[in-house]
Amino acid sequence: MPSDRISILRDPGIRVAPSLLAADFGRVAQQLRQLETGGADLLHLDVMDGHFVPNISFGAPVIESLRSQTNLFFDTHLMITDPLVYAKPFVEAGSDLITFHIEVECDPRRVIERIRDLGVGVGVSLNPGTPAEAVFDILEQVDMILVMSVWPGFGGQQFIRDVLPKIRAIRQRLAPHQRLEVDGGIGVKTAAAVAEAGADTLVAGSAILSEPDPSLAIADIRREAQRAEPWNRTNRSNPSSC
């Protein structure tokens, strides 16, 4: 993983990751600057292929042109059916971490190894209908697990509370240096619930970019999550001490 941005994942604490899916692409450079100066920790990049999900967003050339505009960590979420075919262009475009969906792969270990060989971090994502057990075998191999809290494909959907037990089940099995990201319907009203369950990396699109001041929205989400975080990452290996 690129050394200058890796610390944002490895250092303890809540991370807020605005999703560029909610941006106005007519003024995306200006919005990127607003997010960077406004306290965004990662930039979440939602790639949709119109096949795994019923929507199409943007591809590697767009990410490459964004790379020259910001030093934010690029957290690329591939909602596509062939992650191995496309991972390399997304790495070359400037992604720092590539997340693929467990539902599309019958050999996730091989995909994880191949993405890691490209020199970036690796995440695995689960749809709301996929049980936690689907990723138990590969947990040790990844830097991040991404729990979808809406069915992927569109921004602005309502948070699905049923995913909270899944967040808890996965958190209990992760090492302190691994991150647990949640994506979909996250905002000031839902941040506390997911952080209390064990999420430490919160993706938010419409709740940040539809606000007149994105920096205030980022700060509000971070505050709610920090207030609810059950223990900090430095003693997660021994949660019973809290």
Q: Which residues contact 190 (CB under 8 A, 6 or more apart)?
A: 149, 159
- Whether the Cβ atoms of residue 28 and residue 19 lie closer than 8 Å to each other: no
Choose among 186, 152, 145, 138: nearest CA to 167: 145
Strand partners, 144: 123, 179
Asked if 101 is part of the footprint of ligand DX5 (rule: CB under 6 A), the reply reads no
Q: How far is CA 110 from CA 19, 78, 146, in A?
A: 28, 16, 18
Determine the interface stretch with ligand DX5 among 114-122, 173-181, 202-210, 217-225 (rule: CB under 6 A): 202-210
Tell me which residues in 34-53 interact with Zn ion (CB under 5 A).
46
Determine the interface stretch with ligand DX5 among 2-10, 107-115, 134-142, 150-158 (rule: CB under 6 A): 150-158
d(CA 170, CA 25): 35
Per-residue contact string for residues 70-89; x = within reach of Zn ion by CB under 5 A: -------x------------
Q: Which C-beta is closer to ligand DX5: that of 81 or that of 206?
A: 206
Asked if 224 is part of the footprint of Zn ion (rule: CB under 5 A), the reply reads no
- Of the residues 143, 181, 183, 220, which one makes contact with Zn ion according to CB under 5 A: 183
Per-residue contact string for residues 21-60; x = within reach of ligand DX5 by CB under 6 A: xx---------------------x-x--------------
Q: Which residue's CB comes closest to ligand DX5?
A: 205
Q: Which of ligand DX5, Zn ion, none sits in contact with 54, Cβ below 5 to 8 A by type? A: none
CB of 162 to ligand DX5, least distance (A): 16
d(CA 207, CA 48): 20
- Whether the Cβ atoms of residue 138 and residue 108 lie closer than 8 Å to each other: yes
Residues with active-site annotation: 46, 183
Q: In this structure, is the dihedral angle defined by the CA atoms of residues 212, 186, 219 and 65, taken in order, positive or negative? A: negative
As given in the structure block, the two tokens for residue 220 are: 């509000």
In the block, tokens 């997010």 appear at 35
Per-residue contact string for residues 110-149; x = within reach of ligand DX5 by CB under 6 A: ----------------------------------------
User: What count of Cα atoms within 13 Å lies in the side-chain half-sphere of residue 162?
Assistant: 9
Interacting residues toward Zn ion by CB under 5 A:
46, 77, 183
Interacting residues toward ligand DX5 by CB under 6 A:
19, 21-22, 44, 46, 77, 150, 152-157, 183-186, 203-207
